[in-house]
């Protein structure tokens, strides 16, 4: 493996748990084996899935204008957009805020859960490859930022109240980031390589 900083070539051998491999020449971090990485990824993925359930069970936002109170959930926001003629935006909301995080957290749980017992789930290598390819498309933090910006504008027209769904979504964002960052890609591949099918 080449150092991404100075291009020095190294032989990438396995490092013991809790330590890291650094470049021999410039000292930059090449890869690491974080302690309890699998447990952490599994826990945060599971927490993300539970939070996704909470996000969709409770209202995201409550709006009150002229005495009319409206409760909005993420799922309803997407279906209303599709129904009201903004189908493309509605599908984007559904895919990026519901389907993508669900697939991401579910995929990580599927790959890392069995690895805790030293086994690879059937097709786990395909799932892991697909996960690293779709990672840049996981943009719930961008969505949350967009929500906050539009809320500032909406706040002038109506009284807004964040629902349980909103707070669950904020925590979900942190859990997803922790799950994705919880394991080094090289470490994951090494573990998959030695695991029994």
**Which residues here bind Zn ion, judged by CB under 5 A?**
3, 5-6, 8, 23, 25-26, 28
How many residues can be counted in the chain?
197
Minimum separation from the CB atom of position 184 to Zn ion (A): 17
Return phi, psi of residue 52, to 5°: -60, -40
Task: Count Cβ neighbours within 10 Å for each residue of 68-105 and write b for 16 or more, e otherwise.
Answer: eeeebbbbebbeebbeeeeeeebeebbebbbebbebbb
Minimum separation from the CB atom of position 34 to Zn ion (A): 21
Would you give the distance in Å from CA 66 to the centre of its chain?
A: 38
How many beta carbons lie within 10 A of that of residue 164, not counting itself? 13
Minimum separation from the CB atom of position 12 to Zn ion (A): 13
> Closer CB to Zn ion, residue 30 or residue 176?
30
Start-to-end Cα distance in the chain: 27
Question: Which residue, 38, 11, 15, is CA-closest to 24?
Answer: 11
> Closer CB to Zn ion, residue 8 or residue 62?
8
Minimum separation from the CB atom of position 29 to Zn ion (A): 10
> Closer CB to Zn ion, residue 3 or residue 115?
3
Question: Which residue, 67, 78, 65, 66, is CA-closest to 159?
Answer: 65
> Closer CB to Zn ion, residue 7 or residue 135?
7
Minimum separation from the CB atom of position 4 to Zn ion (A): 8
Q: What is the DSSP string of 79-116?
A: HHHHHTT-HHHHHHHHIIIIIHHHHHHHHHHHHHHHHT
Minimum separation from the CB atom of position 30 to Zn ion (A): 8
> Closer CB to Zn ion, residue 6 or residue 39?
6
> Closer CB to Zn ion, residue 10 or residue 76?
10
């Amino acid at each position: 493996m080449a150092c991404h900083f100075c291009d020095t070539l190294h032989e990438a051998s396995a490092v013991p748990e809790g330590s890291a491999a650094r470049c021999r020449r410039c000292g930059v971090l090449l890869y690491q084996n974080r302690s309890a990485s699998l447990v952490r990824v599994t826990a945060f993925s599971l927490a993300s899935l539970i939070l996704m359930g909470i996000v969709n069970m409770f209202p995201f936002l409550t709006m009150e204008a002229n005495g009319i109170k409206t409760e909005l959930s993420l799922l309803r926001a997407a279906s209303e957009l599709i129904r009201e003629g903004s189908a493309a935006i509605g599908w984007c909301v559904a895919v990026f805020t519901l389907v993508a995080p669900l697939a991401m957290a579910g995929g990580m749980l599927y790959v890392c859960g069995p690895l805790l017992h030293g086994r690879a789930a059937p097709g786990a290598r395909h799932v892991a490859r697909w996960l690293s390819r779709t990672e840049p498309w996981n943009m719930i933090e961008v969505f949350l930022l967009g929500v906050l910006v539009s809320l500032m504008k909406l706040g002038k027209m109506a009284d807004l109240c964040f629902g349980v769904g909103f707070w669950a979504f904020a925590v979900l964002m942190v859990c997803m980031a922790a799950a994705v960052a919880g394991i080094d890609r090289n470490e994951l591949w090494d573990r998959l390589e030695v695991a029994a099918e």
